[in-house]
Amino acid sequence: MKIKIIGVGKLKEKYFKQGIEEYAKRLSKFCTFEIVEVPDEKAPETLSQAEMEQVMAKEGTRILEHIKDREYVYALAIKGQERTSEAFAKEIDELSTYGHSDITFVIGGSLGLTPAVLKRADTQISFGRFTLPHQLMRLVLTEQIYRAFMINAGSPYHK
C-alpha cells in the first residue's frame, strides 16, 4: 500500500518536520509513505476574489500534476465529512481490501482547494470546523493515518 500526502508550501518548522518524520518511520512497517510539497503561490495579504481564484487555480494545477488516475484521493476540506478515528481506520482497510492500494491526501494552501481538485477527489474529509495551519495539518493527518493502521492492527496505541 502507498500513502501520499500532497501539501501546498514548504514545511519550515523543525518541530513539525520531526513529528512527521517520527510517524513516517512508524508507518514504514505498514505502507510506503511519501509527502509531496508543491510550491505555494506568492500573493499579497489582501486579494480580490478573482486574484484568490487565480492563486488557488495555480496551486490546484500543481497539485493535480502529482495525482495519478489510479489513486484514491481524499481532499481535506472544512466542508468535508468528519469521521471518527475508528471509521477512518475501517475506510482505509476497506480501500486496500477492494483494490485501492494508492491513497492520496491533499492539503491545500491558505486559501483552500480549487474546485478542480475537489472534483478530482473521491471524497472530502474534515478534521472539524477549526482552521488549522496547513503545516500543522500535515502532522495531524500523518498521526491519524498511523492511528488508523494501529487500530486495524488491533494495537492498544489507540486507547
Q: Answer yes or no: is 112 a known binding residue.
A: no
Burial of 80 (0-12, 13-18, 19+ CB in 10 A): middle
d(C-alpha 21, C-alpha 18), whole Å: 5
d(C-alpha 133, C-alpha 131), whole Å: 7
Q: How far is CA 48 from CA 5, 43, 51, 79, 114, in A?
A: 29, 11, 5, 22, 16
Are 13 and 135 spatial neighbours (Cβ–Cβ below 8 Å)?
yes
Beta bridge partners of 81: 125
How far separated are the first and last CA of the chain, in Å rounded? 25
Q: Answer yes or no: is 27 a known binding residue.
A: no
d(C-alpha 52, C-alpha 49), whole Å: 5
Annotated binding site: 76, 108
Q: Which residues fall in the annotated binding site for S-adenosyl-L-methionine?
A: 76, 108
